[in-house]
Every structure is written in structure tokens, then in C-alpha cells.
Amino acid sequence: MNSGRRNFLNFSLGAGLLTLATLLAACGNNTAPTNTPGSTGGNNNTGGARPRYQIGIIAKSSSNPVFLAARQGAMDAGRALGAEMNCDVEVIWKTPNSEDAQAQAQYVEQLSSQGVDGIAISCTDANVVTPAINDAVENGVTVVTFDSDASESRRMAYYGVDDHAAGAKVMELLAAQLNGEGVVAVLAGNQAAPNLQARVAGVQEEAAKHDAISIIDVYYHGETASEAAAKMQQVQTANPQITGWALVGGWPLYTNNALDGIHEHAKVVSMDPLELPLNYMIAGQVQALVGQPYYDWGYESVRLILNKVHNDIAPASPRVTVAPDVVDTPAAAEALKGRWSQWLSGASEATGG
């Protein structure tokens, strides 16, 4: 090969990539907090001794709408709490496209190496991320977990609901709908997920309080909308005596017609009041939805971190748990649907969580 032409090509390639990298550098803002979709800037005034903090947010999956609400909450918290505490806050969203504990651990290391002040993480697998969290804490980073904890790690605090209590709430609402008697089926997703198992245990314990309610079985399935909907249809067809469904996750309700042939015969109470499940409730096919503080996962995690790094105040308990949210009227469902539109479009909340 003509070495002159090859060298020219090599240099052209390098120059092209350099241009790309320079453009990226120009797109990115490495000198001050920004207001781009991936980061939230507070006041850019860097004069005086106004402190500046960087907080990384690592959720389980960037394609899951519940974490998009958490992201919006974190962004809003960066702005609102930055103004309130007179500091600049940059929120860096770093989340795998799909659930990947190894990628989460690598992101913790990356963010820690970049010198962030705090990290909020929803752990896909506590075992895998714990060493990275401990290293980050050792490196001076304040770590908070939300939604899914790494209780053996040296994280400062956990923020979220108690899964066992959430499961019990699902069954309590269903029992009320059934007037204390009936045959209940439990839809439970992945058998190996500890948070789902805790919810199932909560459902079972609550059901045991009602003598006239029996649980026919706990049904596991692949955690996709179509598999969950198919499982419900299959079980209801085989067991027409079922009068109530306790869903510890909202999987089947992410389709449009999962409850055809079911809602006519059974009451349904589910976790996860997301946009599509709320439609079922507005249509009267689902009687109540039990939710987690999706937006506050982000908002409150940022607050916990800022309180520590800016005000040097740690929470009184390392487990900050909140009661599950309940949506049990169509009007409440309509109101929550409006908030979801806001969260998913990236618009901030006027009330700030």
C-alpha cells in the first residue's frame, strides 16, 4: 500500500476523531454546573465562597419510567435545594440502559474518581455494588441508596418504602374491596427478586388476618408485560373461582387489555401507579394502586446528600422509610397521571416534591 496515502488516511482519521472529541468537549460543560438534560445546575455564580457540589445518580435502568421520575426529582432537588442552601449543585445522571449491576459498580467507581461529592444509587444487586460503594465512601464520597438498598455497605442512608409494608397494603386494600371474603391469586414476577419476595410475604401475612380470604397460589412469570398478562389470563381461565388479584408489581398493566375476561369476575389491586396502570383504574378495571415515592427517590436522596456535605447533618436513622402511596379513586388517578406527564417530559415540579 502507498505509505504516503495510508499515513494521510491515518492522520485524517485521527484529526476527524479529534474534531469529534473537541466538539464533545465544547458540548459538555466542564467548568460550571449546567442545565442540560443530563445535569442540573444551580446558580452559576461562582464568586465569593459559594460552594459547589456534584451528585451522581445511578438508577437501575434508564428505560424504566419510575427511574425517569426519580431523575426529574433529583434535577429539581438540585435546583431548589441549591437555591435554598445557597450552593451550586450539579446532578449527573449515570444509569445503565438496562439492569446491569456490574455497570452500576463501574459507574460508582467512575463518578468517585471524578471527584463527585455524593452518589445516590438504586442497587440492582447489592452484593456486586457493595465493594464499589465502600471504596467510594473511603474516598470521601457520601453515598445514599434509594428504592433498593445495599444494607451491608457503608452507605450513609437508604430512602424508600418498606417492601413488606407495601405488599401488606396491597392485600389490605384488596380485602376491603372483597368485603373480607374471596379467593385471591398473587401475581409475583421474578421468584428470585428479594424485594418482590418481601412484598409477597406482606400480602400473605395480611391475608392471614382475614379468615374468609384464601390465597389460591402465588404465580411467578417473566417480568414482561406480555408474559404477565398471559399468566393472568391462563390462571383466571383455569380457576374461575378467583375473585381477587393482588399484583406485587404492575407488569401486566403496561398493556392495554390485560384484564379482559378478568375484571368482570375479580377485583384487582396492584403496585406501581404508572401512566398505563392508571388508565385501568380510570376505566374501573383496577380498584386501587399502591405506589412508591418515585419522584422523591431522586429528590430526597439529593436532599440527604446535600444535608450531609453542605450542612454536615446525617439522618437520624440510616433507613429513611416512607409509607407507600395509595391511589384509590379515579380522581386521584387522573391527578397522578398529570404528574407522570410532567415527570416523563422532563418538566420540573413547581412544588419541588
Partner 1 sequence: MPPALATTDDLRPKATPPKPRPWWRSLLGAQESGLILVILFMMLALTLGGGTKPQRTIFPLAPGDTFTSTLVSGTSDTYTLAITRADGSTQNLQSSSRPREAGASDGTRSLSITRQVNAFLDPANLILVLKDASFIAVIAVGMTAVIILGGIDLSVGSIYALAAICGAVLLNAMQGQLVAATPTLPAHRSGWMPDASVFLAVPLGLMVCTLVGGLCGLANGSMVVGLRVHPFVITLGMMAALRGVTILIPKELMGEQSVGGFPPSYQDGFFRADIAGVQPVPIFFMLIVALVGWFILSRTVFGRRTYAIGGNETAARYAGVPVGRVKILVYTIVGALAGLSGAMYIGYFGAAETGAGGGYELQVIAATVIGGASLSGGRGTAIGAILGAILVRLIDSGMVILRIPQDYNQIVMGAAIILAVVVDQAKSGLSKGKRG
Local structure of 329: helix, strand or coil: coil
By C-beta, is 3 or 351 nearer to partner 1? 3
Query: Which residue of 14, 180, 240, 330 would you call a contact of partner 1, by CB under 8 A?
Result: 14
Residues contacting 294, CB < 8 A, separation 6+: 66, 67, 69, 70, 73, 343
The Cα angle at residue 95 between residues 89 and 99, in degrees rounded to 5: 150
The DSSP secondary structure of 23-89, one letter per residue, reads HHHHHS--SS---STTEE-------TT--EEEEEEE-S-TT-HHHHHHHHHHHHHHHHHHHHHT-EE
Tell which positions 47-76 bind partner 1, by CB under 8 A: 47-52, 62
Binding of partner 1 by 95 (CB under 8 A)? yes
Of positions 64, 85, 99, 215, contacts partner 1 by CB under 8 A: 99
Q: Which of 74, 79, 88, 94 contacts partner 1 by CB under 8 A?
A: 94
Contacts for 342 with CB less than 8 Å, ≥ 6 apart: 72, 348, 349
* 154 lies in the site for partner 1, by CB under 8 A: yes
Distance set, CA 205 to CA 169, 201, 252 (Å) = 11, 6, 24
Question: Does position 223 bind partner 1 by CB under 8 A?
Answer: no
Please state the closest distance from residue 329 (CB atom) to partner 1, in A. Answer: 36
DSSP class per residue in 277-315: HHHHHHTTS--EEEE--HHHHHHHHHHHHHHHHTT----
From the list 70, 71, 63, 67, the residue with the least C-alpha distance to 92 is 71
Residues 249-308 that bind partner 1 (CB under 8 A): 308
Write the CB contacts of 3 (distance below 8 Å, at least 6 apart in sequence).
none
Among 185, 235, 289, 309, interactor with partner 1 by CB under 8 A: 309
Q: Does residue 351 bind partner 1 (CB under 8 A)? A: no
Q: What is the C-alpha separation between 27 and 3, in angstroms, rounded?
A: 35
Window of 131-139, 235-243, 247-255, 266-274 that interacts with partner 1 by CB under 8 A: 131-139
Nearer to partner 1 by C-beta: 118 or 167? 118
Judged by CB under 8 A, does residue 198 bind partner 1?
Answer: no
The residue whose grid cell reads 403496585 is 271
Query: Quick check: helix, strand or coil at residue 206?
Result: helix
C-beta of 39 vs 243, nearer to partner 1: 39
Q: Does 212 bind partner 1 (CB under 8 A)?
A: no
- 98, 214, 239, 241: which one contacts partner 1 (CB under 8 A)? 98
Task: State the amino acid at position 288 in one-letter form.
Answer: A
Grid cell in block for residue 161: 418504602
Range in contact with partner 1 (rule: CB under 8 A) among 133-141, 204-212, 229-237, 281-289: 133-141
Is 16 near partner 1 (CB under 8 A)?
yes
Question: What is each CA distance from 151 to 130, 144, 328, in whole angstroms?
Answer: 9, 11, 32
Least Cβ distance, residue 255 to partner 1 (angstroms): 23
The distance in angstroms from the start CA to the end CA of the chain is 64
Q: Which of 68, 77, 92, 187 lies at the binding interface for partner 1 (CB under 8 A)?
A: 92
**Contact residue for partner 1 among 63, 113, 179, 241 (CB under 8 A):** 113
- All three cell numbers of 238: 383455569
Which residue among 63, 139, 179, 239 contacts partner 1 (CB under 8 A)?
A: 139
Tell me which residues in 316-335 interact with partner 1 (CB under 8 A): 318
Residue among 66, 77, 132, 235 that touches partner 1 (CB under 8 A): 132
44, 86, 101, 177: which one contacts partner 1 (CB under 8 A)?
A: 101
218 binds partner 1 (CB under 8 A): no
Nearer to partner 1 by Cβ, of 31 and 345: the residue is: 31
